[in-house]
Amino acid sequence: MAKARYEGYSEGTPTKLVKETFGDTKVYAQNAKSILNPATGFIAAYDFTLNPYRGCQYGCSYCYAAAFSPNSQMRQDWGKWVIIKENAAQILEKELETWYKKNPHKFPKIYMSSVTDPYQPIESKHQLTRSLLEVMLEYRPTLVIQTRSPIITRDIDILQRFQRLRINMSIPTGSESVRRDFEARSPSIKARLNAITKIKQTIDPLKGFIPKVSITITPLLPTLPEDEAAFIEKLAIADRIVIQEFHASHNRSLVAGTREEAQGIKQKYAWWYDLEQVNYMKFKENLISRLPSVEIKEGKDGFGYE
C-alpha cells in the first residue's frame, strides 16, 4: 500500500490534507486499522500499547518517539503536526471484544501511551482519549496512563471508576528554566504537580478508586541545586518515582533515540553532563534518603503497573 502523503510534508499531490490548525500545529485525520498494538521492549509487561494520536504537540527536544514520524520532514518538525485516529473508539471496542472471546477470564494490560501524549492540547477539543476511556470502562483493563498534561484532571469522573489504574506524570526536572530549554511547549512543573494533587484530593475513596501515581523523571534532566530540595519534597505526593538517563543517540529514522536538538541543549548544562553518572547517583541517593515512604525505581523496572 502506498504511503500517505501529508499536505505540507510531501512532494506531489497530498493524500492527507490539513483538517485544521491548532495553534501552530497542523492537524490531520485518518482512520486506524488497529488501535491496540502488542507491547514489546521497554513495556513488554503489558499486552498492548494504545496511542490515540500520532505525533505530539509538546515536541520535547529529547523525545525518542520522533523517530517514528511518517517521514524525515515530519521528524524534523516534531511537535508541529498531529494525526487524529478518528475511528479509535470504534476500533478499540471491536479489539477488546476479540480479546475477551480469546481470553474470557483475563483482563488486558494496556499502556496509554508509548509514542504520543494522550492529553496533548488537541485532546481538549476532540476528546478522543476520553472516548477511549469510556470504552475501556466496560472491559475493566489494567491501565497505565503516561502524560505530562494537566488536561487529565478533566476526566477525573471517569478515571475514578477504574479499579486498576496507574497515572505516570512525566516531570523530568525540578527547574522551570531547564524545562523551558528542553521542552518549551510543555506544561509547567507546577501545573503537573497540581494536577496530581487535584486527582488525589478530588476522588472520594468511598465513591471511587484512587489511582496509583508515579512521577517519571525520564530522562533525568538537570535540576538546579537551589531547586532540588523543594522539588524532591513535592515528589512525596507519588507512591513511585522513576528515574532514567537519556536514550542512546541514533541518526537513523525509525530508531528510538535522543534527538540532536537535545544533544545541543545538553551543552548548556555541561556542569551536569560532564559528570552525568556522578550527578545521577547523587540525585538518586537524595530521593532515597528524603523520600523513605516512596518507591524509587530505575528505567524499565519502574514502568510496570504494580
Q: Which three cell numbers stand for residue 252?
A: 537513523
In this prediction, residues 103-120 reach a mean pLDDT of 96
Smallest Cα–Cα separation from 277: which of 260, 256, 298? Answer: 298
Question: What crossing angle do the helices spanning 128-137 and 88-102 adopt, rounded to 10°?
Answer: 20
Instruction: Indicate the average pLDDT of the chain.
Output: 94
Write the burial class of residue 208 (CB in 10 Å: 0-12 exposed, 13-18 middle, 19+ buried).
middle
Residue 79 DSSP label: T
pLDDT at 47 over 60: yes
Domain boundaries, the chain: 24-299
Q: Greater confidence, 254 or 214?
A: 214
Q: With a cut of 50, say whether residue 251 has pLDDT above it.
A: no
Query: Does the pLDDT value for residue 282 go beyond 90?
Result: yes
Q: What percent of the chain has pLDDT over 70?
A: 95
Model's pTM, two decimal places? 0.95
Please choose, from the candidates 177, 109, 120, the residue with its C-alpha nearest in 3D space to the C-alpha of residue 151. 120
- Any idea which of 16-25, 124-133, 246-255 has the lowest mean pLDDT? 246-255
Q: What's the count of helices (H) and strands (E) in the chain, helices before strands? A: 11, 12
- How far apart CA 81 and CA 161 sit, in angstroms, is 32
Q: What is the pLDDT of residue 45?
A: 94
pLDDT attached to residue 259: 64
Residue 254's pLDDT is what?
Answer: 38
What's the CA gap between 274 and 277, in Å, rounded?
9
Cα 226 versus chain centre, distance: 28
Q: Residue 172: which of 86, 105, 272, 91 has the closest Cα?
A: 272
Residue 253's pLDDT band, with cuts at 50, 70 and 90, is very low
Task: Note the CATH number of domain 24-299.
Answer: 3.80.30.30
Per-residue pLDDT reduced to its tens digit, 149-189: 999 999 999 999 999 999 999 999 999 999 999 999 999 99
Q: Is the pLDDT of residue 252 over 50?
A: no
pLDDT band for position 258 (cuts 50, 70, 90): low
Length of the chain: 306
pLDDT of res. 42: 86
Band of the pLDDT at 11, cuts 50, 70, 90? Answer: confident
